[in-house]
Chains A and B, each alone.
Chain A
Amino acid sequence: MNRRITFIQAVREAFQEEMRRDERVFVMGQDVQAGIFATTSKLVDEFGPARVINTPICESASVGAAVGAAMTGLRPVVQIMFGDFNYLAMEMTANQAGQWHYISDGALKVPMVIETPSGARGGAGYGHSQSLEAAFILPPGLKVAVPATPYDAKGLLKSAIRDDNPVLFFEHRRLLPQRGEVPEEEYLIPLGQADIKRVGSDVTLVAVSVTVHKALAAAEKLSQRGIEVEVIDPRTLVPLDKDTIFQSLQKTYHLVVVEEGRKRGGFGAELAAIAVEEWFDYLDAPVQRLGTISAALPYSPVLEAACIPSEEDIVQAVLRSLGQEE
């Protein structure tokens, strides 16, 4: 495996392969034919405008239409570009898409994906910068994928499209141009299987999406000081692969969790609560959580950087966990 392609290409390959494989799969969203973030670019050339549908600027209508299409047998992928705007479609996503399988006593399935580029990329400001993945672990019936590499993105998106449940698929915008190894041959990554991105023995560092890369960089720095950090990428927040995290904790007894989503009520809060509930006897220090502060993200790239967890913040959190803070 030595082919290196971008995150964007990996996602586009997933679309191509799944749309070729299953004619029920189609894409809809604002300017998906052109592809604002290029993940859907050129799909229209191969699959035509009936399967690559541009929609008006109305997220609730797009997601609502997708829910209906999914209930009636199609497998839609809706793109909500700029993850922040998922809130506009929250009723359709949280109350409809996630719950109709239950409400209908299993008669209906809602196999759909919301593909959503998101996250802070240096000054897009309050409406175009948030990482909202943790907002979707609260409503029932939704799965939440947060790939951090091109390889994971392709494998997870293919699984998401084949899954019979609604799946939120978050693509951090800083990751889109990044390259990584992706094999030519087809593969799938099951939803709910974490990946140990770096093996270590001293601290378990669970990192979400873009922060996986910051965590790996922080781990390298810490390694020079003799601290070996195990970096775990959950890859999906729902379902959550608790076993892999717990196995790591049984080795390290120290847990740090980092996300670009907001710290308050975030994924880290959920994981810390699980740790206290289920893994209490394996905690040798308080769980350290890192996330974005509870404020509107500023337009100034400098101020934005001050609001979100940095590599250095992660280094310090690991040291705090080990009682070696500076």
Chain B
Amino acid sequence: MATAVTMPRWGMIMEEGMVVEWLKKEGDEIKRDEPILIVESEKVDNEVTAPAEGVLRVIVVDEGETASVGAVLAVIAAADEDEAAIKAILTQAAQQPSPASSSAPASDSHPPATSALPPSPSKPRRIVISPAARRLAEDKGIDWQNLQGSGPRGRIERKDVLRAIDAGAKPGKRLPLSPMRKAIARRTLQSIQAPQAALCREIDITSILRFRRDLPVGEQGGDKPPTFTAMLVKAAAMALEKTPILNALLEDDSIWLDENVHIGVVVAVEEGVMVPVVRQTNRKSLRDIASELGELIQQARGGRLRSEAMEGGSFTISNAGPLGIDFFQALLYPPQVGALGVGRGRARAVVVDGEVVERTMAYFCVSSDHRVVDAAPIGRFLHDMDEIMQNPDLLLREIK
């Protein structure tokens, strides 16, 4: 029996994936569940395992090419499997639309010969440029990737670069949009469509910072004290339990109120941001949240975060303090209706009990989808956050 290897769907948002590397080549013996290729989706790289045992008979999608979820990537069959069975899968593959492939459907009147490969999708164009032209372009900051070469076989030569300079080519370079940036582009555009506003409250975080500093090492959060972000997550989980409308999802014409609080935390990584989700934060201790969040952040920075770990959030927190941001409107992640953005703490002269004292203050801003959340619940939520910041012992309260 011939079995198709198809583009997997990792998480509901995945629509297509790029074949990064084939770990096996045509003709290799394959064991079931053995990794045979690596696929890059919008947020993660992962291995695809063999759905069946046999021989990797045909590779349909080459390295560097993109295919839709469900598209046939290769065919595994027994070494002596009849070509007809493989052909059947390939014919089907050729008919399914693929973003990278413009291959025509296999013609019935001219059945393919034994090597029943569909027309191979064109390889990415190799840009040929002379060393001297490349040097000149790089010295002048000209993006040579997009120049037309006039030399033999389209080779870009110095005169082509000089012509581009004369024609006023802007110095700079063009970067392709990475899958992650594509995903961010789509999510941010989706986000901006929600009618949203940010409401801010300046909160005194002196106590919680002192509390964090004074926490006995080892007792809470392993060998390091929990991060300020972990404390924000725990505090928000507690506050959200009292303001369930902020811990909601807007789905078509209904509002889903989740019984639990799943908080996504925005993590800066090299080429963008990732939002791993700490699940059921309302049922977890500060220590558990801190260690789980620490692990997720490490995975995100190491490119090892799985798509599932970024799904199912009901609220999002972004701590921009480390970036030196005072206050900002956090991005809303639809269908979520609320997101908290926390700016940096700064020493301020404030009046407490009629005296001017130095306190560390930070802006807490809640973005919300106004279709669902009005100002009052946000005010309540921020009030509760303020309470916890002033009384950090609450973070250590027994979990119900």
Give the B-binding residues of A (Cβ under 8 A): 253, 280-285, 323
- Contact partners of B190 in chain A: CB under 8 A: none
Give the interface centre of B130, B157, B158 by most chain A CB atoms within 10 Å.
B130
A281 and B131 in contact, given A253-B158, A323-B157 (Cβ under 8 angstroms) = yes
Q: How many residues of B contact A (CB 8 A)?
A: 12
Give the interface centre of A253, A283, A284, A323 by most chain B CB atoms within 10 Å.
A284
- Contact partners of B135 in chain A: CB under 8 A: 281-282
Which residues 110-158 of B have a CB within 8 angstroms of A? 130-135, 150-152, 155, 157-158
CA distance A323 to B130 in the complex (A): 12
- Contact partners of A282 in chain B: CB under 8 A: 131-132, 135
Q: Is the beta-carbon distance between B132 and A281 smaller than 8 angstroms?
A: yes
- Contact partners of A285 in chain B: CB under 8 A: 130, 151, 155, 157
- Contact partners of B134 in chain A: CB under 8 A: 281
Instruction: With both chains docked as a complex, state the minimum distance between the C-beta of A78 and any C-beta of chain B, in angstroms.
Output: 44
| Further contacts, 17 of them, CB under 8 A, given A284-B131, A284-B133 | A253-B158, A280-B131, A281-B131, A281-B134, A281-B135, A282-B131, A282-B135, A283-B130, A283-B131, A283-B132, A284-B130, A284-B157, A285-B130, A285-B155, A323-B151, A323-B152, A323-B155
Count: A-B pairs, CB below 8 Å: 29
Task: Name the prevailing secondary structure of the B interface residues.
Answer: helix
Give the A-binding residues of B (Cβ under 8 A): 130-135, 150-152, 155, 157-158
Instruction: With both chains docked as a complex, state the minimum distance between the C-beta of B176 and any C-beta of chain A, in angstroms.
Output: 26
- Which of chain B's residues has its CB closest to A320's CB? B152
Instruction: With both chains docked as a complex, state the minimum distance between the C-beta of B139 and any C-beta of chain A, in angstroms.
Output: 9
- Contact partners of A280 in chain B: CB under 8 A: 131
Q: Is the beta-carbon distance between B150 and A284 smaller than 8 angstroms?
A: no
A284 and B132 in contact, given A253-B158, A323-B157 (Cβ under 8 angstroms) = yes
Instruction: With both chains docked as a complex, state the minimum distance between the C-beta of B58 and any C-beta of chain A, in angstroms.
Output: 38
20 contacts between A and B (CB under 8 A): A253-B158, A280-B131, A281-B131, A281-B132, A281-B134, A282-B131, A282-B132, A283-B130, A283-B131, A283-B132, A284-B130, A284-B131, A284-B132, A284-B133, A284-B157, A285-B130, A285-B151, A323-B150, A323-B152, A323-B157
CA distance A283 to B151 in the complex (A): 13
Instruction: With both chains docked as a complex, state the minimum distance between the C-beta of A241 and any C-beta of chain B, in angstroms.
Output: 22
Q: Is the beta-carbon distance between A284 and B152 smaller than 8 angstroms?
A: no
CA distance A253 to B132 in the complex (A): 7
- Which of chain B's residues has its CB closest to A275's CB? B131
- Which of chain B's residues has its CB closest to A283's CB? B131
CA distance A323 to B152 in the complex (A): 6
CA distance A283 to B150 in the complex (A): 16
- Contact partners of B155 in chain A: CB under 8 A: 285, 323
- Contact partners of A283 in chain B: CB under 8 A: 130-132
CA distance A108 to B370 in the complex (A): 97
Query: Which 5 pairs across A and B sit closest by C-beta, in order of nearness?
Result: A281-B135, A284-B132, A284-B130, A253-B132, A323-B151
